[in-house]
Amino acid sequence: MKLVLLRHGESVYNMENRFTGWTDVDLSAQGVLEAEQAGRLLKENGFVFDKAYTSVLNRAIDTLMIVEKELQTMILTFSTWKLNERHYGALQGLNKDEMRAKYGEEQVHIWRRSYDVRPPALSWDDPRFPGYDRKYRNLKKEELPTTESLKDTMKRTIDYYLNEIKPNLLKGENIIIVAHGNSIRSILKYLENISDDEIMNVEVPTGVPYVYEMDSNLEIKNKYFLK
C-alpha cells in the first residue's frame, strides 16, 4: 500500500515570511498552483486513495480539495487538530527576519528547527490563543497549547497516527495526509527513526507529495518525492 504525505501549498504567511503555526491563513496564489500541480502528479502516476486526513486549518483542507479536483474524485476525509502545525506561541504572526534581527539567527533557528525547545508562550488572554476559535470549542482550555516544541507536536501527531491512521494502513488502504511542515516532520521522524539532532536539518517543501511504498507489515520498501 501507499502512504502519501503532502504539506499544504504556500500560504500567505509563508509568502510574507511569518511564523504561522495555528493561525488560520489562506493559500497564496502560488500555493493554489502548487496544490494543483501536486494533484496532477498524483493523477498522472495513477494514485488512488481510500482515505484522507488533514488538520482543521484551511490551508491544509483547501490543498486537499484542490488535489481532489485534479484527481476528479472525492476521498473520505477526516480532519483533526492533532495534525495541526506546531504552535509557535508568541511568535505567531511575526516576521522571521525581524525576529532574527531581534534575537539572533541562532536563537530563531533553534526555535524553528530544534526538537525540544519551545518558543515563548502566549498567555491565555492573548487573542491568538486557540481557545477563542470555535474550531476548538470541544476541547478543554488545558488541552490547547500556548506554545509547542517539535517534541510536543510529535506527541499529538503520532498518537493520532497510531490510533487512527496506522490501523487503516494495516488493512491495505492507500492514504494521503495533507498537513503542515512540523506535523509532517513528526511523522517522518517516527517512520524513518530520524534522530533528534538530524531532524533539525529536515525540510519539507510545500506542495510536493512524499510517497511511502509499504508492505503488509508497514515496512518501508521505497520512499521518494513525486516530482
Catalytic residues: 8, 85
Q: Are 202 and 190 spatial neighbours (Cβ–Cβ below 8 Å)?
A: no
For residues 23 and 129, give the distance between their C-alpha atoms in angstroms, rounded to a whole number: 10
Q: Which three cell numbers stand for residue 135?
A: 474550531
The dihedral region occupied by 93, where left means phi > 0, alpha psi between -120 and 50, and beta the remainder, is left
Question: Which helix (H) or strand (E) element contains residue 187?
Answer: helix 181-192
Residue 11: strand pairing partners: 27
3 state SS of 18: strand
Report strand pairing: 51-54 vs 175-179.
parallel
For residues 188 and 178, give the distance between their C-alpha atoms in angstroms, rounded to a whole number: 13
Rounded alpha-carbon distances, angstroms, from residue 3 to 22, 40, 173, 223, 227: 25, 17, 9, 10, 16
Dmax (CA) for the chain in angstroms is 50
Q: How many CB atoms lie within 10 A of CB 43?
A: 15
